[in-house]
């Protein structure tokens, strides 16, 4: 598919009503969405659908990296490119049955983590039960009169629940960032302010410092760094690294070339725009 063409379908982590589904609909309101059960299934779907794009979570401000996404990106078999980084300002809602007591609350582990202090204060006796998604939590709560769910407020309408409280812990930032993935590099754009790299370094003291030195000298800021084990190769690792700037910039390309001369193996996952913000 040419880089400028619109995808025929967007694959995302489901089910319908999940935060991944929510940001996908906000970003592509007119394109069909394919919801899948895992991050891995999104990558597998894209591998067999060249006309499709995908949206997967990469990081949550409370829980950190989404390792499933990182592992698929650094895998040598991954042929996808990062097109764009999307940011969702996650605002959680308590959904339930107005006037009924709350004995159990369902949600995904991440909302429970973010809302822990609020729940201790407002619903200290309610039993917390984790579910695979906030959508599944809302579906369960809808079937039980003494149950509630934590998730996006849109799930109230989807599952016939009342909006009991919104937003939960609204004074604490809860940001989730997502990657839009495609089969071609993002078209060159002066607005590209981020690049993602897969880096392998020699197994010797100082190799990471040697790689980072040309970036530092060029004034290039590093935004993310994660080491991941090489599949089937014990005690060997590759790095997932994000830097500010585009590989089309001379200072960036020159710094990376110097790092290659110093022994680094570098594969680009693309240069793209970050900072596109949506609110749940």
Give CA separation, 55 vs 58, 93, 172, 225, in Å.
10, 23, 25, 21
For residue 190, give every residue at least 6 positions away whose Cβ sits within 8 Å of its Cβ, in sequence order, or none: none
CB atoms within 10 A of CB 4: 7
Give CA separation, 197 vs 52, 118, 211, in Å.
23, 38, 12
Q: What is the pTM of this model?
A: 0.89
For residue 120, give every residue at least 6 positions away whose Cβ sits within 8 Å of its Cβ, in sequence order, or none: none
- What would the two tokens of residue 192 be? 């590209």
Please give the Cα distance from 46 to 83 (Å, whole number): 14
* Contact between residue 123 and residue 147 where contact means Cβ atoms under 8 Å apart: no
Single out the residue of 38, 115, 21, 79 nearest to residue 270, CA to CA.
79
For residue 124, give every residue at least 6 positions away whose Cβ sits within 8 Å of its Cβ, in sequence order, or none: none
> How confident is the prediction along the chain (280 residues), in pLDDT tens digits per residue?
444 568 999 999 988 988 899 999 999 999 999 999 999 999 999 999 999 999 999 998 877 889 999 999 999 999 999 999 999 999 999 999 999 999 999 999 989 998 999 999 999 999 999 998 899 999 999 999 999 999 999 999 999 999 999 999 877 788 999 999 999 999 888 889 999 999 999 888 999 999 999 999 999 999 999 999 887 777 788 999 999 999 999 999 999 999 999 999 999 999 999 989 998 8
Single out the residue of 176, 158, 155 nearest to residue 166, CA to CA.
155
Please give the Cα distance from 169 to 90 (Å, whole number): 11
Helix (H, G, I), strand (E, B) or coil at 166: strand
Single out the residue of 127, 121, 134, 130 nearest to residue 92, CA to CA.
134
Q: Which helix (H) or strand (E) holds 142?
A: helix 134-142
CB atoms within 10 A of CB 45: 16
Please name every residue paired with 148 in a beta bridge, in sequence order, or none if there are none.
Answer: 105
For the chain, what percentages of helix, strand and coil (3-state, to nearest 5) are there?
30, 35, 40
Angle at 277 between CA 271 and CA 278, to 5 degrees: 130
Please give the Cα distance from 179 to 185 (Å, whole number): 13
* Contact between residue 266 and residue 253 where contact means Cβ atoms under 8 Å apart: no
* Contact between residue 223 and residue 233 where contact means Cβ atoms under 8 Å apart: no
pLDDT digits (tens, 9 = 90+) for 81-135: 999 999 999 999 999 999 999 999 999 998 999 899 999 999 999 999 999 889 9
β strands within 37-111, DSSP E: 53-60, 64-65, 81-89, 92-96, 104-107
Give the β-pairing of 64-65 and 175-182.
Answer: unpaired
Please give the Cα distance from 260 to 214 (Å, whole number): 10
């Amino acid at each position: 598919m040419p880089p400028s063409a619109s995808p025929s379908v967007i694959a995302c982590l489901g089910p319908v009503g999940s935060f991944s589904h929510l940001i996908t609909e906000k970003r592509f309101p007119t394109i069909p969405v394919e919801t899948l059960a895992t991050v891995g299934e999104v990558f597998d779907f894209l591998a067999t659908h060249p006309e499709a794009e995908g949206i997967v979570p990469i990081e949550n401000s409370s829980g950190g990296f989404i390792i499933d996404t990182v592992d698929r990106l650094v895998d040598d078999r991954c042929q996808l490119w990062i097109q764009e980084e999307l940011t969702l300002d996650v605002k959680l809602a308590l959904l339930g049955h107005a006037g009924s007591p709350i004995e159990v609350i369902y949600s995904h582990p991440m909302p429970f983590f973010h809302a822990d202090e609020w729940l201790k204060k407002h619903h200290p006796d309610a039993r917390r039960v984790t579910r695979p998604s906030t959508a599944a939590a809302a579906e369960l709560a809808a079937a039980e009169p003494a149950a509630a769910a934590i998730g996006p407020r849109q799930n109230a309408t989807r599952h016939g629940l009342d909006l009991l409280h919104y937003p939960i812990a609204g004074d604490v930032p809860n940001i989730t960032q997502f990657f839009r993935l495609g089969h071609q590099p993002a078209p060159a754009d002066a607005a590209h302010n981020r690049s993602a790299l897969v880096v392998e370094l020699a197994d010797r003291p100082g190799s990471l410092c040697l790689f980072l030195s040309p970036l530092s000298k060029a004034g290039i800021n590093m935004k993310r760094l994660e080491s991941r084990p090489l599949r089937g190769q014990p005690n060997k690792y590759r790095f997932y690294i994000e830097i500010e700037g585009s590989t089309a910039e001379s200072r960036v390309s020159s710094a990376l070339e110097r790092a290659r001369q110093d022994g680094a193996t570098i594969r680009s996952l693309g240069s793209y725009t970050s900072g596109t913000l949506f609110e749940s």
